[in-house]
Each structure stands twice: as C-alpha cells, then as structure tokens.
Amino acid sequence: MKNNKIWLYLFSAPLILFFTVFLLAPVIIVFGTSFMEWKGFSGNITFIGLDNYIAAVKDPEFIVSFQHTLIWIVLQSTIHVIIGVSFAIIISRKFRGWKILRTSFMIPNMISASALGFIFLMVFNGQIGLINSLLRKLNLEQLAHNWFFDPSTAFVSVTVTWLLFAGLIMLLVLTEIGTIPDSLYEAADLDGASQWQKDLFITIPQLRNVLGTCMIIAATSKLKEFELIYLTTKGGPGTGTMSLPLYLYNTSIVQNNFGYSNMIGTVLIALGLILIFIISKVFKIASDD
C-alpha cells in the first residue's frame, strides 16, 4: 500500500494539469491584464493601473451592457425560477402524462443554444415568422412586425428566448420534492389540509436549499449568455440588447482590445462571486461538502 501515494498524485495530475492550463491560467490572465493596456497580440503590454475600470464607468456601451446584464440576472433568478419551481410542484403529483410534460419542457434546454437562437429568429421573423403568421390569422396584422429589429420589442423578444425554459430548475426541484418524507404530508392530511396548503406550508419550506442552488444557477447563467443574443440581435438594434458577455466578445475577438475585454471578464467573474455570496447568505445554504 505504500507506493499508493505516488499513484494518488499521478491520478490527480491530469485534472490538475487541465485545470491549470485552461481555467486557472486564464483566470489569472483575465485579472492581471485587466490593469494593462494590450491591443492585439503584437501590441505592447503596459501597466495602466485602474484606467480600464475608469474608462468603463465613462463608456456608455459598457454601462448599458452592465444594466442589461443585471436586469436579465434579476428576471432569471425570479421569474425563471418561479416557472421552474411551480412546474415541478404541479407535475410532482405524477398524474397521467407527467413524463411527457417533463420531456417537452426539457427539450429547449437540451439542444444547442445556437439552434434555439436560430429557431427563435425564425419564430419572430417578420415575413414567415410563427408569431406574425398567428397575428395575421387573428386579424391583428397591425401588431405584426420584425420583433428582434424593432427597438421597442427587441429586448423583450430576446428575453423570451430563455426566460420560460426552466427545465433544469424544474428537474432539480422535482428531485428534491422526491426526498421530502411522506409522513409530513400524512400529518397534514389528518389535519384536513388542502393540496394548495400542503404545497405552500410543507413543500416550499422544505425546498429552501435547492431554491438557493436554483437561484445561483439561474443568476450565473446570465453571466455567460452569449449565443442566444449573438444569433438573434447581435446586441442591437444599436445597443438595445447588448450585454457584458457580448461586449467582451466584441472588444476582445473583434477589436483585439485585450486589456479592456479582460476588465469586462474580471467584472463578470466578480459579479458571479458576489451573486453566489448574496444568494447563499439569503438562503443560508449549508456547506456540507
């Protein structure tokens, strides 16, 4: 058993190597170069302190991207979570056909976000779109327009591509509901509680931990949201649907302004840590692992 020690390190080495090269080193580069001016691979790297951060506060496109990202985080961690939780509570009664409903609800989560974005581009298309065709059928022609390209509807249309599809949240909650002891419900039945009362006073309080996890997953998912915006509006019209991940992509890969884009990356990572901290505190998530 003595030479096991070597094996333990050898077995952990590949994971540590991959982590170091593709996760740890990138995080260090993102943070470190956010204090540098670095334009293009051949450009010089100069230390400029907080200049990128100061420039961001004065950059209207950064400000608007930041605001949109925050709005989407708030919507996602409330409405999206509520839809997932309520769906799970209702189908947890396992009536006939509940599995079909569960599968259908999961499908938008299982396909690539790029395909989903593209499908929604077609659903909201001005000419052949599903929405406009329905409106025309209902003689509401005056409401039909190009949803993603009209500044008054672009933001809402983009939000629709993810807000309702809470399949993952539903699954997490459904699994948790399965672990609530039956005895709790039996006691409530004896007291003559209605289904609605049981949901409100037994199920929901038992879900506290998983609700916190769901809110963290929902909130942080908007810190990486890229495809669904890129393939529908590309952040437009103007900056109408611009977000931090998209702005980061534009400043780094398109404009090669690496120092500035890594400042945005640092902001995203910091926002993630802040969100996780706040939500864990609010839900008092026990850290037992």
Partner 1 sequence: MKVKGYSYVTSIALISIIPFLWVVMLSLKTNEEILNNPLSLPSQLIFSGYGNALEIAPLGQYLINSAIIAVVSTALNILISSMAAYTTTRFDFKLKKPIVIIMSISLLLPITALIMPVYSIIRFLGLYDTKTALILVYTALDLPMSFFILRAFFLTIPKELEEASYIDGSSFLQCYGRVILPLTSPGMITAGILHFIFCWNEFLYALTLTASHGARTVPLALNYFTSQFAFDYNAMFSAVVIMIMPSILIFIVFQEKIIEGLTAGAVKG
Contact status: 134 vs partner 1 (CB under 8 A): yes
**Residues 6+ positions from 85 with CB-CB distance below 8 Å:** 169, 170, 173, 207, 211, 214
- Give least dist CB 57 to partner 1, A: 19
Q: Which of 71, 75, 79, 101 binds partner 1 (CB under 8 A)?
A: 101
Q: Which of 27, 54, 140, 204 binds partner 1 (CB under 8 A)?
A: 27
What letter would DSSP give residue 150? S
Q: In terms of CB distance, is 41 or 183 closer to partner 1?
A: 41
Number of residues binding to partner 1, judged by CB under 8 A: 94
CA distance 223 to 251: 16
Which token pair is 43? 């450009």
Q: In terms of CB distance, is 121 or 183 closer to partner 1?
A: 121
Widest pairwise Cα distance in the chain: 80
Contact status: 106 vs partner 1 (CB under 8 A): yes
- Centre a 10 Å sphere on the Cβ of residue 280 and count the other Cβ atoms it contains: 16
> What track of x and - describes contact with partner 1 for positions 186 through 205 (by CB under 8 A)?
--------xxx---------
For 88-124, letters b (16+ CB in 10 Å) and e give bbebbeeeeeeeeebeebeebbeeebeebbeebbebb
Q: Which of 36, 165, 240, 241 binds partner 1 (CB under 8 A)?
A: 165
- Give least dist CB 29 to partner 1, A: 4
Contact status: 53 vs partner 1 (CB under 8 A): no
Which token pair is 61? 């496109």
Contact status: 280 vs partner 1 (CB under 8 A): no
CA distance 3 to 62: 55
CA distance 83 to 72: 15
Of 204-263, binders to partner 1 (CB under 8 A) are 210, 213, 216-217, 220, 223-227, 231, 245, 248-249, 252-253, 258, 261-262
Contact status: 4 vs partner 1 (CB under 8 A): yes
Q: Which of 103, 140, 200, 282 binds partner 1 (CB under 8 A)?
A: 103
Contact status: 15 vs partner 1 (CB under 8 A): yes
